[in-house]
Amino acid sequence: MSEATGKKAVLQLDGKEIDLPIYSGTLGPDVIDVKDVLAAGHFTFDPGFVSTAACESKITFIDGGKGVLLHRGYPIDQLATKADYLETCYLLLNGELPTAEQKQEFDAKVRNHTMVHDQVGRFFNGFRRDAHPMAIMCGVVGALSAFYHNGFDVENIDHREITAIRLIAKVPTLAAWTYKYTVGQPFVYPRNDLSYAENFLYMMFATPADRDYKVDPILAKAMDRIFTLHADHEQNASTSTVRLAGSTGANPYACIAAGIAALWGPAHGGANEAVLKMLDEIGAVENVAPFMEKVKTKEVKLMGFGHRVYKNFDPRAKVMKETCDEVLTALGINDPQLALAMELERIALSDEYFIKRNLYPNVDFYSGIILKAIGIPTEMFTVIFALARTVGWISHWLEMHSAPYKIGRPRQLYTGETQRDIQGR
């Protein structure tokens, strides 16, 4: 539990004073407890939750002013370069990085659950083959709730923990099958002798016609790093959605499907797909300047730029840019879109419009260029984000269920009709 600081805020309301206690976390701003405002007949008002802490959490800390992102205390750049994705998953779930033995045990557990019930495969046939992969993901991940519902007890810690493992293990299988379905290729079953990232790329790109398909280690390493960089990001829109859905005691697979829905939007995880579409539309470096003029007149948004929390730089974007350079160099790719992206960044970082609004590249600005180099089609970009973020969502769901919690139930400022009677009937 957070510590009471002994400090208080005093709210003057209708001639009365209400004392509001102030709590401190281990990092970040103190929070004012506004619960007592209700007893005084008022609600607080904060659309978009711009200054509202909706829960207490020990998982991830962001200092947006300084560009800091810590998972369980560890900086994201250290995790991206010194740990792999499954170690980061273990850290998010358990609070500590695994020992060699714990890592082996955790990896084995995840591998043991990579298959999905064979009936799940039939759900895909209900979708049009040109359905957006995120639409399919919402459906098939939600469908897992039908396989793990009877007998599931949210109060049982073992049930909750196995749910986390199942989700981390099965979402890559469903993500790869989503791709296979949209291109009309047969589903490829997981291979448990491969690493997490290798197995995902194998299920994406192997075909029955190419039995000796080998995953390029450079691509597997880049994929693993992309997963790590997207693993969690405290109380963002999709994580808050998972917590809100979870606060009703709903089935966890259905809660994760709700998170996938929230992630899909272009203001959130859908931005990585939107960045590549934007780069396609701009087409050439000479079109960058006129495009930026359109951004400044608010005709279009510069996708992959700006963040609700980061007002200096997004530390994930820094590692992503380095990874992008590494991958393109290692693969010998000279992607003209990288030159375009760098020109956009150069203008934005020196232009008063962007400087004044603290607009910097976010994690999605360079991820699309790497994903494209790996061979992932644009429409699958947000699916990759969802796959990687599943651990973040389920870590927050687990944290919420490990202590007493209340159903999430915001209030409103009602501005509709006052009471009236139906006339003439």
Q: Which of 259, 269, 315, 368 binds ligand CMC (CB under 6 A)?
A: 269
To the query of whether residue 280 is one of the catalytic residues in this protein, the response is no
Q: Report the distance separating Cα 99 and Cα 303, nearest Å.
A: 40
Q: Could you say whether residue 226 binds ligand CMC (CB under 6 A)?
A: no
Distance CA 309, CA 240 (A): 15
Looking at the Cβ atoms of 223 and 359, the one nearer to ligand CMC is 359
Q: Binding of ligand CMC at residue 357 (CB under 6 A)?
A: yes
Residue 233 touching ligand CMC (CB under 6 A): yes
Q: How many residues does the chain have?
A: 425
* 305 sits near ligand CMC (criterion: CB under 6 A): yes
- Stretches 118-126, 211-219, 251-259, 263-271: which one binds ligand CMC (CB under 6 A)? 263-271
- Taking the least distance from each CB to ligand CMC, the nearer of 246 and 269 is 269
Give least dist CB 332 to ligand CMC, A: 29
Q: How far is the CB of 98 from ligand CMC (least distance, A)?
A: 26
Token pair of 176 as six digits? 């790869």
Per rule CB under 6 A, is residue 321 in the interface with ligand CMC? no
Backbone region of residue 411 per phi and psi (left: phi > 0; alpha: psi in -120 to 50; beta: other values): beta
Considering only the stretches 36-44, 187-195, 217-225, 359-367, report the one whose residues sit in contact with ligand CMC under the rule CB under 6 A.
359-367
Tell me: does residue 388 bind ligand CMC (CB under 6 A).
Answer: no
Q: Is 364 a catalytic residue?
A: yes
What is the spatial distance between Cα 386 and Cα 392, in angstroms, rounded to a whole number?
10
157-183 and 100-111 helices, crossing angle to 10° = 60
Q: Is 69 in the site for ligand CMC (CB under 6 A)?
A: no
Left if phi > 0, otherwise alpha if psi is -120 to 50, otherwise beta: which for 15? left
Q: Please report how close the Cβ of residue 305 comes to ligand CMC at its closest, in angstroms.
A: 4
Question: Is residue 307 within the footprint of ligand CMC (CB under 6 A)?
Answer: yes
Binding residues (CB under 6 A) for ligand CMC: these are: 233, 236, 267-269, 271, 295, 301-308, 357, 359, 362-364
